[in-house]
């Protein structure tokens, strides 16, 4: 289509150009003697100038109309692709909100780069974190890997304050166009503040402009659900022109769907929490029956979260969104399957028989069967629960997974669970001290097995050193390593 348009347009301008040349020649040729007499030799220069001017005019006009056509064609494609993105977002709200919100920035960047051949500095989705009382970066995509994006936008930031407080008040006072509550563009803020006389409005717009500049953003769209600002959709610099009104309108509709997705997530989380709370109550009741396991789940949660805090910026754990929250849930529910194991096995004071141990080994799968009734529990959490008894050398259960095949969350819960078991009294043995437990963990990681992922072990040791109740220090760990090295050399010599 574009080729046909270019050919037709070229033929039209060539025809006009030739007709103009013929017309000038037809007029000028009979009068060449008179014109030469009047202008002298300058007439030859005048012919060259007229020819050059006409050529420049025709070429410029051709380029102009070609650019207009290309721009219109690009806008049509943008509207089509952005509408397709909105349809995908609308359809995905009820499927997996977390994955949906993760995919919006990369998909948007891909559309602009591949379909429109336009570069965008970055796209990001922030949503409100009630615990931190700010807008936390949830997902983003940058043009270059070195591009830095703000990790959070404070609730007191002028940008959030604009949508929550300033803009509604200014609209109510008839000082501001209502469209500025739906989205702000950097160029609009600059233009608007240049001709408005209200000092209050100028000050508010100046703060918003400075906030956009600090974020290196050209567009910010609020994600409102009713009167709650649940999130912010931010777009960085566009490297060809500025964002058109049509694009911003699509972003506004997209932000509405993002808000619905976030609200749906909140409702699902609330429902999940009610289910998890009920299951946790059952776990607590189960642990109360056995004085040796009382409080086990809470302690495993504590140790697991401390390990996750150390690993949240370490590859490959960075691949899991909301790592700490998922680890907390998995650790809390990791032993729910023991509901299906008889007390005679759980509370047996001696060594388990083979049949009894086989029955106990089924509790991770029983946990998964119980949790199937709770919708939208992330797969990462389920995998962490199902595989928390796997060992890094492949000798664990239930699947006998080995090394990198063991889910990441399971690796964390595994060592937290083992450490708590070591440092707690059991019916068949007394508890180890934290120092003895650390020695056993190092022995089973570096001198045997390994039973656990070394990265997770090192993170666990760092977390223990920060816990003043354990009395674990760098000096202690160094001495334990020296002792184990010495024993290993003696064994090798034998």
Torsion sign (Cα): 488, 490, 492, 494: negative
- Rounded CA-CA distance 492/485 in Å is 11
Helix intervals (H) in 312-396: 323-333, 343-346, 354-360, 363-371, 379-386
pLDDT at 123 over 70: yes
Nearest to 401 by CA among 414, 387, 380, 415: 387
Architecture (CATH level 2) of domain 289-493: Orthogonal Bundle (1.10)
Q: Among 270, 266, 300, which Cα is nearest to 283's?
A: 300
Asked if residues 252 and 221 have their Cβ atoms less than 8 Å apart, the reply is yes
Which spans in 216-322 are helix H?
245-288, 296-311
Q: What is the DSSP letter of 131?
A: T
CA 477, distance to chain mean position in Å, is 37
Does the pTM surpass 0.85? The reply is no
CA distance 103 to 83: 16
Q: Which residue has the tokens 């202008």?
A: 39
Q: How do residues 277-292 score in pLDDT, each as one tens digit? A: 777 777 777 667 666 6
C-beta of residue 221 within 8 angstroms of C-beta of residue 232: yes
Instruction: Round the average pLDDT of the chain to a whole number and report it.
Output: 80
CA atoms within 13 A of residue 257's CA, in its CB half-sphere: 20
Mean pLDDT, to the nearest integer, of 463-473? 87
Report how far residue 446's alpha carbon sits from residue 458's, in angstroms, rounded to the nearest whole number.
Answer: 11
- Please give the residue that has the higher pLDDT: either 256 or 54: 256
Residue with tokens 């965008």: 120
Beta bridge partners of 221: 233
Q: What is the pLDDT of residues 325-380, one digit of tens each?
A: 899 989 988 988 888 888 888 888 888 888 989 999 999 999 898 888 777 688 89
The pLDDT tens digits for 304-321 are 999 999 999 888 898 888
On the question of a common fold for 96-263 and 289-493, the answer reads no
Residues 6+ apart with CB under 8 A from 99: 92
Predicted pLDDT of residue 29: 54
Assigned CATH class of 96-263:
alpha beta
Whole-number percent of the chain with pLDDT over 70? 75
pLDDT: which is higher, 355 or 35 = 355
pLDDT at 2 over 60: no
Break the chain into its structural domains and give their ranges.
Answer: 2-77, 96-263, 289-493
- How many CA atoms are closer than 13 Å to the CA of 250, on its beta-carbon side? 20
Residues whose CB is less than 8 angstroms from the CB of residue 248 and which lie 6 or more positions away in sequence, other chains included: 183, 185, 219, 221
- Sequence-ordered list of residues with C-beta below 8 angstroms from that of 127, at least 6 positions apart, any chain: 101, 135, 136, 138, 223, 230, 231, 232, 262
Mean pLDDT of 102-128: 81
Q: Which two tokens stand for residue 492?
A: 């090798």
Model confidence at 28: pLDDT above 50:
yes
């Amino acid at each position: 289509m574009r080729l046909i348009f270019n050919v037709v347009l070229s033929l039209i301008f060539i025809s006009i150009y030739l007709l103009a040349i013929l017309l000038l020649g037809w007029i000028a040729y009979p009068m060449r003697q008179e014109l030469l007499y009047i202008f002298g030799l300058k007439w030859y220069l005048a012919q060259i100038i007229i020819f050059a001017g006409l050529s420049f005019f025709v070429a410029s006009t051709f380029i102009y109309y070609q650019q207009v056509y290309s721009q219109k064609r690009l806008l049509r494609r943008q509207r089509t692709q952005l509408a397709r993105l909105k349809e995908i977002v609308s359809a995905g709200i009820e499927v997996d909100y977390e994955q949906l919100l993760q995919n919006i920035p990369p998909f948007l960047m891909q559309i602009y780069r591949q379909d429109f051949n336009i570069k965008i500095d970055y796209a990001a989705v922030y949503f409100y974190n009630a615990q931190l009382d700010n807008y936390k970066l949830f997902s983003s995509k940058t043009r270059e890997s070195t591009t830095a994006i703000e990790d959070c936008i404070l609730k007191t930031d002028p940008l959030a304050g604009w949508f929550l407080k300033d803009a509604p008040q200014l609209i109510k006072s008839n000082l501001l166009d209502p469209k500025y509550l739906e989205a702000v563009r950097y160029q609009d803020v600059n233009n608007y503040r240049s001709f408005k006389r209200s000092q209050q409005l100028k000050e508010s717009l100046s703060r918003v402009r400075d906030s956009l500049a600090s974020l290196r953003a050209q567009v910010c769209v609020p994600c409102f659900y009713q009167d709650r600002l649940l999130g912010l959709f931010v777009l960085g610099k566009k490297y060809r022109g500025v964002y058109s009104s049509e694009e911003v309108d699509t972003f506004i509709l997209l932000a509405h769907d993002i808000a619905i997705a976030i609200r749906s997530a909140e409702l699902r989380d609330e429902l999940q929490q009610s289910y998890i709370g009920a299951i946790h109550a059952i776990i607590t009741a189960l642990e109360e029956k056995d004085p040796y396991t009382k409080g086990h789940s809470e302690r495993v949660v504590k140790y697991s979260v401390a390990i996750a805090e150390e690993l949240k910026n370490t590859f490959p754990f960075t691949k899991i969104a909301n790592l700490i929250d998922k680890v907390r849930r998995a650790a809390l529910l990791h032993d729910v399957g023991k509901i299906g194991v008889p007390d005679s096995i759980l509370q047996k004071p001696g060594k388990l028989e083979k049949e009894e141990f086989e029955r106990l080994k089924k509790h991770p799968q029983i946990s998964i069967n119980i949790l199937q009734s709770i919708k939208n529990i992330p797969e990462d959490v389920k995998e962490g629960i199902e595989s928390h008894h796997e060992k890094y050398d492949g000798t664990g259960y239930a699947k006998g997974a080995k090394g990198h095949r063991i889910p990441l969350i399971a690796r964390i819960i595994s060592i937290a669970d083992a450490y708590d078991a070591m440092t707690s009294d059991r019916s068949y043995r007394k508890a180890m001290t934290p120092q003895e437990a650390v020695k056993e963990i190092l022995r089973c990681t570096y001198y045997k097995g390994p039973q656990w992922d070394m990265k997770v072990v090192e993170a666990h040791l760092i977390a223990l050193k920060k816990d003043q109740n354990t009395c674990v220090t760098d000096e202690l760990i160094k001495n334990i390593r020296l002792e184990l090295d010495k024993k290993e050399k003696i064994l090798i010599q034998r």
